[in-house]
Amino acid sequence: MGSLPSKVGQKISHQPVLLKEALEYLNVKKGEKYLDATVGGGGHAEAIFKKGGQILGIDFDPEAIKAAREHLSQACPSRQSSKKLVETTASWRLAQGNFAHLKEIAGKEGFLPVSGVLFDLGVSSYQLENSRRGFSFRSSALLDMRMDPTLEVTAADLVNALGKKELARVFASLAEEEHSRRIADAIVRARKNKPIRTCRDLADLISGVVSQGRSRLHPATKAFQALRMVVNDELNNLRQALPQAAEILKSRDRLVIISFHSGEDRIAKQFLRSEKDKRLKILTKKPLRPSAQEIESNPRSRSAKLRAAEKR
């Protein structure tokens, strides 16, 4: 997809991950309904639209909905869900909400049943790079990380309130951070003097106790990821959403899940296995990975895994 305008004026671009593969597995058919559970900036949605699908795009971040609306208005003009056209041609519409309630949201939009459901999990480049949102290491913004601004607990609340053991458990279990105890210890020591407020406060604190090693990633990458997962309740949302996705699909239609870390992928894998002899047929024996070329041109794709299944 192209560049999205941000509030601070810079252009941020988000390239849809595993786009060709996602389209192939969704097997988009003209005029059929596709639920994009994580519409983000609308990159995958645009491609589904261009294949003739009707899209309902969901996102719990109102800024993502706004960005998707701007992008799709330009990239997919003229047929914007005029009621008359909905039944017959490509169209798109957007709904703000948590995909943990996707059946209810799709029902309210009169969008059931569907011919495909896509999850492209995690954060968008738009969210990561928008320094106000509190995801990026160098930002002097508050350590926030809420994708849905109605959520009550920020990442700063967590690092200032959780006990040392709990913090270490979060870092180790959600992001496989090997220095989890050392980081938790440093956080608890630092906050005795003053609360940890900004992204940079936390990132510098972690850089001070964990060296970068051979990885090109910032030493705070995993800790930030783990906090983001807790703030947004990411694994529980996915656990709740997958059975609903399987339920609202029509027979022979497809579910595609793109995940970005082992916790998400495990949930996707276990869910597909648990449904294997029931509602779903697994189409990807092993998850698909992006090519070296895609990783090179879009580093966000480096940890992506795509799994797909067909409703029986």
Q: Which residues bind ligand SAH (CB under 6 A)?
A: 1, 14, 16, 38, 40-44, 58-61, 64, 98-100, 120, 122-124, 147, 237
Which residues touch 145 (CB under 8 Å, ≥6 apart)? 133, 134, 135, 154, 155, 224, 227, 228, 231, 232
Residue ranges in the chain assigned as alpha helix (H): 19-26, 43-50, 62-75, 83-86, 102-108, 125-129, 155-161, 164-175, 180-193, 199-209, 221-231, 234-248, 262-275, 292-297
| Closest to ligand SAH by CB, 4 or 186 | 4
Structure tokens given for 291: 């090519």
Tokens read off for 281: 């047929």
Place of tokens 């979060």: 170
d(CA 203, CA 137): 5
Which one, 27 or 240, has the nearer CB to ligand SAH? 240
Closer of 1 and 174 to ligand SAH (Cβ): 1
Q: What is the CA radius of gyration of the chain?
A: 20
User: Going along 90-154, which residue ranges are E strands?
Assistant: 91-96, 114-120
Of residues 123 and 288, the one with the C-beta less far from ligand SAH: 123
Preceding omega of 113 cis (within 30 degrees of 0):
yes
Which one-letter DSSP state was computed for residue 288? Answer: B
**Three-class SS of residue 68?**
helix
Separation between Cα atoms, residue 67 and residue 94, nearest integer Å: 11
Torsion angles phi and psi, residue 258, rounded to 5: -105, 120
Structure tokens at 208: 């001070």
Q: Say how far apart CA 192 and CA 116 lie, in whole Å.
A: 51
Q: How far is the CB of 162 from ligand SAH (least distance, A)?
A: 22
Asked if 160 and 47 touch (Cβ cutoff 8 Å), the reply is no
Query: 147 or 288: whose CB is closer to ligand SAH?
Result: 147
